[in-house]
Structures are given as structure tokens and as C-alpha cells.
Amino acid sequence: MSKRRFLNYLGLTVSTLSALIGLFFLFWIIISLIYKGFHYLNWNVFTQNAVAPGDNGGGLKFAILGQLEVVGIASLIGIPIGLLAGIYLSEYGKDSFTSNVIRNICDAMTSIPSIIIGIFIYALLVVPMGNFSALAGSVALSILMIPIVISSVDNILRLVPNELREAAYALGAPKYVVIFKVVVKEAIVGIISAILIAISRVLGETAPLLFTSFNSNFESYKLNKPIGTLTVTMYDYAMGPYDNWHHLAWAAAIILTFSVLLFNIASRLFSYWRFSH
Amino acid sequence: MVLTQSKWVRAVAFFAVCIALLFSAKISYAGGSINGAGSTFAYPVYTKWAFEYEKATGNRVNYQGVGSGAGIRQVSQRVVAFGGTDKCLTKEELGKRNLIQFPSMVGGIVIVVHIPGIKNNQLKLSNAVISKIFMGKIKYWDDPQIEKDNSGLKLPHLGIVIVHRADGSGTNWNITYWLSQISRQWNQKVHYGLSVNWPTGVGGKGNMGVASYVKQIKGSIGYVEYAFWLQNHLTNVDLQNKEGKWVAPTVATIREAAAKANWQPSKGFYQVLVNQNGAKTWPIVSGTFVLIPKEKSPKYKQAAEFFKWGFNHGDKAAEKLGYIPLPRSTKKLIFNYLRENGF
């Protein structure tokens, strides 16, 4: 066998093995989660609220709805800002000094530990307001989302061929029409999958919520009051002494993992749909 | 994909209605609501009390176990109405932060083991032996020094594995303080603190981490709070107290430590409960404390009311969860202390 062919096989084997190792751990996590936690998932988990510690039964309704509210409002804040900033970078800023500075800051921000963002919002919103609030949690999550949305929208829009823009300009379209009716329309599928990825990124976060939206054992959805969330409740229940809490923590883990998976798969399907058209 | 103008208006109106609905959520209630934060140890009891308190008075108390350190910080910054801490503050610290402090209950720390064939209250470990075990000097369960106090037991030739807390915690502080009291060598080499350099063993995160390691590892020995010992069906050992008597961890022996303690309201009840006097006293006991700001505000008044209610109606609930309520004499001191501070 020639040396080149041997190296080819070697490289192929090593990379296939690496891929399998990655997949192995992903499936291990999912399968052990289903194996250990699936039988704790029942209708009550979705329809009941928390009961006092040590009592049996109860569910996670307050935390599931709370999580949806916090992530929903975070998306309402984060997605428009990220989208518009991404459009600015790709269509107006281009390769100017300012936009490169913004790009670098975005890259740096995606790697900031999320607990730091939580503490930042604690100092910025919670201490001055004198109260933990659902809104503070949403703001913390939106700060996590914004840089992700900005850099992916920027990258996606820059993939749109320049000829399309030129053609629209040649027909006399003003810039905002070119951007919204030509560039964004061309890239809409990529933008939606980027948004879904950003949502799934913040869906499983606990650290930024600990000191912002706090947690609550009661059902309350007010924006200016602490709110129960699935991630923080799961953490509390998993570390507590009672079996019933551990069961609910397993159920919460399954709900969270599968929602994140669902968002990821949805974003994959969107990009697949784009290429098949 | 660009929305027409009327669609935009509709979308904005829709979001406005959604947000208005959230603010005026129908799931409201007549009473007030306050928040508290701190000690994870106290979390189950305060939460249990809060559920019953809401039924009895209509007021909501939302307590979250974020850790004693965070609890002290958050009540000092006045973002919560009360804080919970396992590490009591000194008079000076209380003055600086303008807080009052009192204990709410006590908890015992239980030494747990996992040795095949050994059941609750069978194994006796003397002060000299247990400090040597934690130092890593005694390596096997059938060591003659252990067998000396346990003549009736058949101990296997099994290696001893120490399980300790990997995180900093009040439980760690109390157990290392106790080891420093009973062993001069421990005091010199390891000393005490929220986290120390353990001579040997494996670390688990939180009480739950230690409990699950002890369940999994044969030959292990660890320490957990009383409630975790009770709920996780772990095997406890008997210890020697300050008077050298053998004692088992029970509600009575742990409560004895709180009764023997010299509580001083003028010092904000600052008191270490480890190794208290008394023939029937469990040696490793700690209190958990409440911090309330001194300022006149309905929020802080409500917090004090909640604990008064808990002292009057919450003993049974706390005991059921594996916690030990304060003796009546101590409660009386606290009621006076609250009255003196205008609560």
C-alpha cells in the first residue's frame, strides 16, 4: 500500500472515531436521561404547582410557564436588537473600523461566563430596584442572546451575493427596500435558524437567572416580582434531600433537554428546507 | 416577508396586550408578599412554613436557598426582606449592616458510614479514633483501635474512604471546628474553615453529593446534615460528647445543645453550638440564623411576623422534615429581642 493511501485511511479512521466519540456521549446523556427520568414524567408535572417540601405529588407548571415567560421576553428584547445590529454591520458598517470593533466585542461577549452577566444585571437592575424580578432575568438572558444573533445575522447577510443588491439598486430601489425586500428576504431561512439557535442557547441557562429572576415556589407571572423557572427549580430540587424533589428534577431535566433538542432540530430543518429550494 | 402596515399595528397591539396581561396577572392574591434568601440548609423548613403561612394568613413568603454568603450580601443590600445564614455574624458586623440576628432552629451533623453488615447506631467511634480516621491514619475498618470500642461487632477488612464536601459550606465549618476541638493534631495540621485542605478522601458537591457517594462507595465514611441522613436512609455512628458519654443523633440530643447554650440577645445570639456541655448532648450541632434589617418598613415587619408565626406553629412541620426546633426558653428570648427592636 502506498504511503499516501495509508495516510488517507489513517486520517479517515481518526476523524470517524472522533465523530463517534462525540455522538457516543450525546446519546449516552440522552439515553440515561430517558432511562432514569422518563417514568417521572406524567400529566401532573405539567398541570400541578409546587407542594410543600416533604409532601408527595406536585408539579412544575409554575416553572414551565415561568421559563417560557422569561425566555419569551428575553427574545422580544434580544432578537430585534440583534437583528438590527447584524443588518447594520453587514449593510452599513461593512469593513469600517467601528463595525470591526463591534464584531470583536460580540465575539468576546459570547465567551463571557453567563454567571458574570447575571451579576452585572444584579448590580444594574436588581439592587437599584430593590427587588428581584422576572424582567431582570429576561434582560440577563437577552444580553446573552444579542451577540449570538448579531454575529450570525452579520455572517448570513454577507453571504448574500452583491449582484442581487446591485440589481435592486439599478431598478431604483431605496436602500431600506433593498435590505428588507431583497437581502433579508434572500437570507430569511438562515436568520430564523440563527434565532432558534440563540433561543435554545439561553433556554437551558441557570447561572444568569440565579441573581436576577431569582426563583419562586408560588405561581406568579408578574414582571416586577421573582418568578419560578425550570432551570433554577431543577437545580434546587436536585440538591435537596427529598425523593419527590429528585423525581421532579428528573422530569425538569427531560423537559429542558428535549426543548433544547427540539429548537436545534427545528433550526436544522429550516436550513435543510432552504437548500432543498 | 415584509409586513404590511396594518399587520405591524396588529402585531404591536398584540404584544402590548400580552404584556398588560402579564402585569395584571389574574393569579394574584390579597396578602402581601416578601422575599428571603440564604442558607440552603434552612430552605425546606422556611418553604414548608411559607406554604402553611400562606394558608393561615394569605401572605406569601418566597425563600430561596442561594447559600449563606449570598444571603448575607443580599439582605445587606436590601434586595430581600430577610436573609438566612448558618454562619452567625458578630455584633460588629450586625451593627455595620444595621441588621438584627436570631436563630430559627438547630440542626445536627451526622457521621454516616457504608459498611456491609453495619446498621444504625451500632458502630461507636471515639474522639481519638474519628480524628485519626479523618487524618488518614487509620486505613481499615478492622483496625484494633476501632474494634476496641466495638467488641460485639464483626468489622470487615475493608479500606476506609473519606467522603467530604467539595464546596465551601457551613457544614464543613462545623465539622472541622469540632475536629479541631477534639484533636490537637487536626487543629495544627488542618484547622477549621468553610473549606479546608482535607488530608485524604473524595469530595462531593453539597450534602446530596456526599450522601450519594457514601451510598455508592463500600467502606466510606462522610458527614451530612440530619435531614439528609433521615431522608436518604444512611447509616449513622454514635459519637462521644464533651463529657465523654456515648450519644446517638436524635431530636432530643440535638435540642439539648441548643438548651445548654448561653444565648445572649445583646450579641445578636452569636453562638457556636459545637461541643456544648451536658451528658446527653450531641457534639456536632449548629444553628441557622435569620437576619432582618432594622429599618422601619412593612416588608421587614412582615418578615419578623413570619418567623413569630413559625416559632408558634411550625415545630411539628420542622421535625417532620428532619430539623430540630428551638427549646421554648430560647424562643422566649427571641420574642423579647424582637419586641425590643420594634418588631
In a domain, B273, yes or no: no
Q: What pTM does this model have?
A: 0.84
pLDDT in tens, A8-51: 999 999 999 999 999 999 999 999 999 999 999 999 999 999 99
Clarify whether residues B121 and B139 are in a common domain.
yes
Q: What are the chain B neighbours of A222 within 8 Å (beta carbons)?
A: 22-23, 25, 28
Alpha helices in chain B (DSSP H): 5-23, 43-57, 68-76, 91-97, 127-135, 144-147, 170-182, 184-189, 206-216, 226-232, 251-260, 298-313, 315-320, 328-340
What whole-number distance in Å separates Cα of residue A200 and Cα of residue A270?
A: 15
- A236/B contact by beta carbon, under 8 A: yes
Clarify whether residues B102 and B128 are in a common domain.
no
Cross-chain residue pair B232–A241, CB shorter than 8 Å: yes
Q: How many CA atoms lie within 13 A of B216 on its CB side?
A: 9
In this prediction, residue A277 carries a pLDDT of 63
3-state class percentages of chain B: helix first, strand second, coil last, to nearest 5: 45, 20, 40
Q: What are the chain A neighbours of B44 within 8 Å (beta carbons)?
A: 53-54, 240-242
What whole-number distance in Å separates Cα of residue B293 and Cα of residue A58?
A: 34
Q: Check residue B126 and give left, alpha or beta (phi > 0: left; psi -120 to 50: alpha).
A: beta
Q: What are the chain A neighbours of B25 within 8 Å (beta carbons)?
A: 220-222
Rounded to the nearest angstrom, the gap between the alpha carbon of residue B178 and the centroid of all alpha carbons in its chain is 16
Which of B226, B261, B296 finishes a domain?
B261
Comparing alpha-carbon positions, the chain B residue that sits nearest to A217 is B62
In a domain, B306, yes or no: yes
Q: What are the chain B neighbours of A224 within 8 Å (beta carbons)?
A: 23
What CATH number does the domain containing B254 carry?
3.40.190.10
B157 in Cβ contact with B140 (< 8 Å): yes
A240 to chain B, closest Cα gap in Å: 7
pLDDT in tens, B261-304: 888 898 889 988 999 999 999 999 999 999 999 999 999 999 99
Strand B161-165 to B220-225 pairing: parallel
pLDDT in tens, B8-67: 667 666 666 666 555 554 444 446 889 999 988 899 999 999 999 999 999 999 999 888
What whole-number distance in Å separates Cα of residue A223 and Cα of residue B80?
A: 17
pLDDT in tens, B175-221: 999 999 999 999 999 999 888 999 999 998 888 889 999 999 999 99
What whole-number distance in Å separates Cα of residue A269 and Cα of residue A78?
A: 23
CB atoms within 10 A of CB B329: 10
Q: What are the chain A neighbours of B79 within 8 Å (beta carbons)?
A: 126-127, 130-132
* Residue found under cell 445587606: B76
Give the CA dihedral B94, B98, B99, B100, nearest 10 degrees: 80
What whole-number distance in Å separates Cα of residue B79 and Cα of residue A221?
A: 19
Cross-chain residue pair B52–A215, CB shorter than 8 Å: no
Query: What is the number of domains present in chain B?
Result: 2
A230 to chain B, closest Cα gap in Å: 14
In this prediction, residue B7 carries a pLDDT of 66
Residue A22, helix vs strand vs coil: helix
- A123/B contact by beta carbon, under 8 A: no
The closest alpha carbon to A133, from A80, A190, A211, belongs to A211
Mutate to test the interface with B, among A218, A219, A250 (most CBs of B within 10 A): A218
Q: What are the chain A neighbours of B321 within 8 Å (beta carbons)?
A: 53-54
Clarify whether residues B97 and B114 are in a common domain.
no
Clarify whether residues B325 and B186 are in a common domain.
no
Residue B176, helix vs strand vs coil: helix
Q: Length of chain A, please?
A: 277
In this prediction, residue B321 carries a pLDDT of 87
What whole-number distance in Å separates Cα of residue A256 and Cα of residue A254?
A: 5
In a domain, B293, yes or no: yes
Distances (CA, A) of A184 to A132, A153, A275: 38, 9, 16
Q: Which of B22, B64, B211 sits opposite A69 (nearest CB)?
A: B22
What φ, ψ does residue A95 adopt, rounded to 5°? Answer: -105, 25
Rg (CA), chain B: 24
The predicted model gives A75-101 an average pLDDT of: 94
In a domain, B64, yes or no: yes
Q: Which of B2, B230, B320 sits opposite A181 (nearest CB)?
A: B2
Comparing alpha-carbon positions, the chain A residue that sits nearest to B227 is A241
Mutate to test the interface with A, among B26, B62, B109, B230 (most CBs of A within 10 A): B62
What whole-number distance in Å separates Cα of residue A156 and Cα of residue B97?
A: 53
* Residue found under cell 411576623: B305
Report which secondary-structure segment, H or E, holds B113. Answer: strand B99-114
Clarify whether residues B103 and B121 are in a common domain.
no
In a domain, B266, yes or no: no
- Residue A51, burial from CB neighbour count under 10 angstroms (0-12, 13-18, 19+): middle
Query: Is residue B254 very low, low, confident or very high in pLDDT (cuts 50, 70, 90)?
Result: very high
Q: What are the chain A neighbours of B295 within 8 Å (beta carbons)?
A: none
Comparing alpha-carbon positions, the chain B residue that sits nearest to A179 is B2
In a domain, B277, yes or no: no
Provide the chain A residues 190-229 that lie in CB contact (below 8 A) with chain B: 210-211, 214-226
What does pLDDT average to over chain A? 92
Clarify whether residues B146 and B38 are in a common domain.
no
What whole-number distance in Å separates Cα of residue B221 and Cα of residue B212?
A: 12
Cross-chain residue pair A241–B62, CB shorter than 8 Å: no
Dihedral sign, Cα of residue A104, residue A107, residue A111, residue A113: positive
Which amino acid does the sequence have at A232?
V
Cross-chain residue pair B206–A239, CB shorter than 8 Å: yes
Q: Which three cell numbers stand for residue A154?
A: 452579520
> At residue A133, does pLDDT exceed 90?
yes
- A26/B contact by beta carbon, under 8 A: no
Clarify whether residues B103 and B147 are in a common domain.
no
The predicted model gives A66-84 an average pLDDT of: 96
CB atoms within 10 A of CB B26: 6
In a domain, B245, yes or no: yes
Dihedral sign, Cα of residue A84, residue A86, residue A89, residue A92: negative
The predicted model gives B210-237 an average pLDDT of: 92
Residue pairs spanning A and B at CB distance below 8 A: 99
Mutate to test the interface with A, among B3, B14, B51 (most CBs of A within 10 A): B51
- A104/B contact by beta carbon, under 8 A: no
Clarify whether residues B143 and B232 are in a common domain.
yes
In this prediction, residue B27 carries a pLDDT of 46
Q: Which three cell numbers stand for residue B166?
A: 467539595
Clarify whether residues B41 and B154 are in a common domain.
no
Q: Which of A184, A238, A240 sits opposite B44 (nearest CB)?
A: A240
Q: Which of B1, B45, B80 sits opposite A184 (nearest CB)?
A: B1
Q: What are the chain A neighbours of B320 within 8 Å (beta carbons)?
A: 54
Distances (CA, A) of B180 to A61, B145, B160, B167: 47, 20, 21, 19
* Residue found under cell 450522601: B211
- A235/B contact by beta carbon, under 8 A: no
Clarify whether residues B139 and B90 are in a common domain.
no
Residue B77, helix vs strand vs coil: coil
B105 to chain A, closest Cα gap in Å: 17
Domain that holds residue B84: 32-107+286-340
* Residue found under cell 463517534: A20
Angle at A44 between CA A39 and CA A48, to 5 degrees: 140
Q: What are the chain A neighbours of B55 within 8 Å (beta carbons)?
A: none
The closest alpha carbon to A241, from B8, B46, B24, B229, belongs to B229
Q: Provide the percentage of residues in chain A whose pLDDT is more than 90.
A: 80
In this prediction, residue B2 carries a pLDDT of 47
Q: What is the DSSP letter of A246?
A: H
Bridge partners of residue B100, in order along the sequence: B292
Question: Which residues, 6 or more positions from B275, have their beta carbon under 8 angstroms from its beta carbon?
Answer: B178, B181, B182, B241, B242, B283
Cross-chain residue pair A243–B231, CB shorter than 8 Å: yes
In this prediction, residue B88 carries a pLDDT of 85
Clarify whether residues B247 and B151 are in a common domain.
yes
What whole-number distance in Å separates Cα of residue B3 and Cα of residue B16?
A: 18
B327 in Cβ contact with B258 (< 8 Å): yes
Which of B228, B261, B294 finishes a domain?
B261
In this prediction, residue A271 carries a pLDDT of 76
Q: Which of B47, B207, B322 sits opposite A52 (nearest CB)?
A: B47
Cross-chain residue pair B321–A54, CB shorter than 8 Å: yes
Query: Is residue A174 very low, low, confident or very high in pLDDT (cuts 50, 70, 90)?
Result: very high
Clarify whether residues B98 and B114 are in a common domain.
no
pLDDT in tens, B117-142: 999 999 999 999 999 999 999 999 99
Cross-chain residue pair A241–B48, CB shorter than 8 Å: no
Q: Which three cell numbers stand for residue B279?
A: 451528658
- A173/B contact by beta carbon, under 8 A: no
Q: Which three cell numbers stand for residue B80?
A: 430581600
